[in-house]
Amino acid sequence: MTEPTIPQLFDLTGKVVLLTGAAGHLGSAFARALAEAGAQVIAASRDRDRARSFAASLPAVAAGPHGGVALDHLDETSLNTGFAAAVQHAGKVDILVNNGHDADGHDLTNVTAEQFNRQLANATGYFLLARKFHDHVTSRAGRGSIVLIGSMYGLVGSYPDAYEGVCAASPVHYHTLKGGLVQMTRHLAVYWAKDGIRVNLLSPGPFPSAKAPAEMVRRLEAKSPMHRMGQPHELKGALVFLASDASSYVTGQNLVVDGGWTTW
Ligand SMILES: NC(=O)c1ccc[n+]([C@@H]2O[C@H](COP(=O)([O-])OP(=O)(O)OC[C@H]3O[C@@H](n4cnc5c(N)ncnc54)[C@H](OP(=O)(O)O)[C@@H]3O)[C@@H](O)[C@H]2O)c1
């Protein structure tokens, strides 16, 4: 076998990616990264028009036009129809990125049982879509890569000082959700390795959007070893690494991109 070059390992030409939450703060950088690496991107949003207009803004690739589909992680019917629409558009899906997240801003002082359970249903949606993707890839005798998006808050506890007197604490049900994704990743990776499907988690540290409270951001910056927040483009390389053959011998892992937050 000829040794692949670095450009070949990271090249996604001919690959089709389904990316959920594609038009969001981090999702839009992920979508550009995948398209820049040559992939045909099927952008998913709960709003199909939003998905389609966002897809049209991505850099063109040779394989065909990017597409947009409606997909809600909390609605199994929507997961099924969204996945079918992606396959109808591009003929196949080779890479799945579960990034969409139905957020809830309550914290441990006031979250209700219903809100807590709804937050955990994000994991159910990630799993059901991953299994749908697995069945699609195996029915084609293909190979696939799944990337789930986790969080530094799936690995470490909160940092109460960042939120005290500014806003609600980081949600306890969010920590529970993201911690569970570490284990879901390992479980699926072990069972699906024999089917040629790799499953990995990409866990961002603090990447606040412009909507985040300025004082909270200042406190997070003060605590971070790099004394600054991440910018969405700083996740692009890690995502393409996990999606592509550059990581062909990597599965079940959690790649943390957090400016050193979890290394204290
Ligand atoms: N930003 C950070 O600092 C940070 C840190 C660690 C981890 N993360 C993780 O990174 C991912 C992206 O976060 P973000 O910061 O980019 O947030 P964001 O801008 O709010 O994007 C999340 C996207 O998820 C989609 N979404 C919401 N509810 C959904 C549902 N029920 N089903 C499917 N999609 C749904 C929304 O898209 P539509 O409205 O178009 O459907 C939204 O654009 C999340 O998994 C988040 O937990 C973010």
Atom of ligand 1 minimally distant from the CA of 122: 31
Atom of ligand 1 minimally distant from the CA of 27: 16
| Model confidence at 100: pLDDT above 90 | yes
What pLDDT was estimated at residue 27?
A: 98
What pTM value is reported for the model? 0.98
DSSP symbols for 56-109 = HTSPP-TT---EEEE--TT-HHHHHHHHHHHHHHHS---EEEE---------TT
What pLDDT was estimated at residue 71?
A: 98
| Model confidence at 1: pLDDT above 90 | no
Give the chain's largest Cα–Cα span: 60
Residue 214's pLDDT band, with cuts at 50, 70 and 90, is very high
In contact, 203 and 239? CB cutoff 8 Å? no
Ligand 1 center to residue 118 CA distance, Å?
A: 15
- Using CA positions, which residue lies closest to atom 21 of ligand 1? 24
Dihedral sign from CA coordinates of 201, 202, 205, 210: negative
Atom of ligand 1 minimally distant from the CA of 28: 16
Pocket mutation for ligand 1, best pick of 80, 101, 182 (most atoms within 8 Å of C-beta) = 101
User: What average pLDDT score do residues 175-203 get?
Assistant: 98
Ligand 1 — pocket residues by CB below 6 A? 20-21, 23-27, 45-47, 50, 71-74, 99-102, 149, 151, 204, 206-208
Ligand 1 center to residue 235 CA distance, Å?
A: 14
| Model confidence at 62: pLDDT above 90 | yes
Angle between the 27-36 and 236-243 helix axes, to the nearest 10 degrees? 60
- What is the rounded distance in angstroms from the CA atom of residue 236 to the CA atom of residue 222? 25
Across the chain, what does the average pLDDT equal?
98
Enumerate the domain spans of the chain: 6-263
User: What average pLDDT score do residues 69-81 get?
Assistant: 98
Ligand 1 center to residue 26 CA distance, Å?
A: 7
What pLDDT was estimated at residue 226?
A: 98
Known catalytic residues?
174
Percent of the chain at pLDDT exceeding 70: 100
| Model confidence at 264: pLDDT above 90 | no
What pLDDT was estimated at residue 186?
A: 98
What pLDDT was estimated at residue 147?
A: 99
Residue 161's pLDDT band, with cuts at 50, 70 and 90, is very high
Pocket mutation for ligand 1, best pick of 19, 26, 120, 152 (most atoms within 8 Å of C-beta) = 26
User: What average pLDDT score do residues 177-185 get?
Assistant: 98
User: For residue 202, which of 224, 178, 222, 226 has the smallest C-alpha distance?
Assistant: 178
| Model confidence at 37: pLDDT above 90 | yes
Ligand 1 center to residue 181 CA distance, Å?
A: 15
Q: Which helix (H) or strand (E) holds 197?
A: strand 197-204
- Domain 6-263 in CATH 3.40.50.720? The answer is yes
Residue 248's pLDDT band, with cuts at 50, 70 and 90, is very high
